[in-house]
A and B are shown apart, each in its own frame.
Chain A
Amino acid sequence: MSHQPISPEITYVPEHGGTKRIWKTFWLLTVVTIIELGLGLAIYNIHEGPEPNANLVLFFKGLMCILTLAKAWYIVAVFMHLGDELRSFVLSVVVPLLLLVWFIIAFLWDGDSWRDMKNTNGGSIKTEVVAPAAIEKGAKD
């Protein structure tokens, strides 16, 4: 290959391979996005249907979250070439982002408990308040 280290600080230049890998990743991202859209439309049809199955909708939504994480992985590893970097650098990028795991759990948990507090007047009402809208079509899953 013609490329040289661009700075004396760089010890070696990793091979990024040909364009084949890039196009393969592109098709992969496209297919995953189409699957996600399919799931989105499935949710739409479930809501349109006679008896919306809340658990199935939740399952599809979880599946979409996992597929999105897979897409993010491929974008970062292949398009951003992080997969070709040294492991020490990969870790210094990825490890701080692990903070997000608890960040997400804690805040969504908090939001959920906030809703409970509002619906039960701070826990003093034992029966769940059902929003009048919840039975309408197109309501929150």
Chain B
Amino acid sequence: MAQGTIPVGTKWWSGGKSPFNITYGKVMMWFFLISDAFTFSAFLISYGTIRFSANWWPDPNYVFNAFPFMGHANLPLAFVSLMTFILIFSSVTMVLAVHEGHKMNRKGVEKYMILTIIGGAAFLACQAWEWTHMLTGYQDVLVDGKVESWATTISHNPLGPKVMHEGQLIATPGPELFGGFFFGITGFHGFHVFSGVVINIIIYIKTRLGHFDQRGHYEMVEKVGLYWHFVDLVWVFVFLCFYLI
């Protein structure tokens, strides 16, 4: 390793060299990601607080059990695991693009950037389907003794506990905040994915135009890579908090 070549007693903090051995841009990207991590943490912790304060909360296994083109088949966790694997895989193609960038291999970077963009777009498409399914999936719910038809929105939640009504089990209104947190947090994450895809497309175009070859390094690919991995990292926690627990 190169550490051996650094003379003993090197003054790291007296200017001229990066004490962290990273460029300014990368340090700032990391610090931005820390602040973004705090934002997401605050969202998820507030969700946790509300959930801990509620006597009843919808079970994700019963809420997220649909799959496109499968009708009313009961497939708990199937679709969201597909989304998770799509995002993990696009994270791998991103890190491979960074790797090709280290080797100054423009063709390789282009190939893996395209795959990453496709992965991001596929994830967004899945999320659009899931939102549509939630927002248009009307269910019978017993409100003040009358049966109404509700979908899951930020103001309505038909996923409450079931009670007996005229001889059959029917749902009652669940915690309203469920929709607010679900759409708010997955929406905020989805917006990050969307902006990540846009940034990836910009970097892909700049790669094709040969800008990074002229510059002599592919550090921009590394920086957007950090952002993209962060999006994947957040999804890991959103997946845990909304779908698994």
A and B pair up: yes
**For the complex, is B73 an interface residue (Cβ under 8 Å from A)?**
no
Q: Is the CB of B161 within 8 A of A132?
A: yes
Q: Is the CB of B102 within 8 A of A16?
A: yes
Which of chain B's residues have a CB closer than 8 A to the CB of A49? none
**For the complex, is B56 an interface residue (Cβ under 8 Å from A)?**
yes
Q: How distant is the Cα of A74 from the Cα of B29 in the complex, in angstroms?
A: 19
**For the complex, is B110 an interface residue (Cβ under 8 Å from A)?**
no
Q: Is the CB of A2 within 8 A of B104?
A: yes
Which of chain A's residues have a CB closer than 8 A to the CB of B240? 36, 64-65, 68
CB closest chain-A residue, reference B226: A80
Q: How distant is the Cα of A57 from the Cα of B202 in the complex, in angstroms?
A: 45
Q: How distant is the Cα of A41 from the Cα of B62 in the complex, in angstroms?
A: 11
**For the complex, is B126 an interface residue (Cβ under 8 Å from A)?**
no
Which of chain B's residues have a CB closer than 8 A to the CB of A118? 53, 55
Q: How far is the CB of A34 from chain B (nearest CB, A)?
A: 8
Q: Is the CB of A41 within 8 A of B92?
A: no
Q: Is the CB of A139 within 8 A of B61?
A: no
Kindly specify which of B135-143, B144-152, B181-189, B228-236 makes contact with the partner chain: B228-236
Contact of B229 among A10, A79, A131 (CB under 8 A): A79
Which of chain B's residues have a CB closer than 8 A to the CB of A55? none
Q: Is the CB of A134 within 8 A of B55?
A: yes
Q: How far is the CB of B180 from chain A (nearest CB, A)?
A: 16
**For the complex, is B46 an interface residue (Cβ under 8 Å from A)?**
yes
Question: On chain A, which size bracket covers the interface?
Answer: 35 or more
**For the complex, is A126 an interface residue (Cβ under 8 Å from B)?**
no
Interface secondary structure of A, over-half rule: helix
Which of chain A's residues have a CB closer than 8 A to the CB of B88? 26, 29-30, 33
* Contact mask for chain B residues 47-77; partner A; CB cutoff 8 A; 1 contact, 0 none: 0111111111101111000000000000011
Which of chain A's residues have a CB closer than 8 A to the CB of B237? 68, 72
Known: A64-B240, A64-B244, A85-B20. A140 touches B56 (CB 8 A): yes
**For the complex, is B194 an interface residue (Cβ under 8 Å from A)?**
no
Q: Is the CB of A6 within 8 A of B23?
A: yes
Which of chain B's residues have a CB closer than 8 A to the CB of A8? 16-17
Contact of A33 among B41, B55, B84, B230 (CB under 8 A): B84
Known: A19-B96, A111-B52, A136-B161. A10 touches B17 (CB 8 A): yes
Within 8 A of B (CB), among A13-34: 13-16, 19, 22-23, 26, 29-30, 33
A133-B160, A136-B161, A140-B54 known; 16 new pairs, CB 8 Å cut-off, are A6-B23, A11-B17, A14-B2, A26-B92, A40-B60, A40-B76, A40-B77, A47-B59, A72-B236, A75-B232, A100-B38, A104-B48, A108-B49, A110-B49, A114-B53, A139-B59
30 A–B contacts, CB within 8 A, in A order: A2-B104, A3-B217, A7-B23, A8-B16, A11-B17, A12-B2, A22-B96, A33-B88, A36-B244, A40-B60, A40-B61, A41-B77, A44-B77, A61-B245, A64-B245, A68-B236, A75-B91, A75-B229, A75-B233, A78-B95, A79-B229, A79-B232, A93-B30, A107-B46, A108-B45, A111-B50, A111-B53, A133-B161, A133-B172, A140-B59
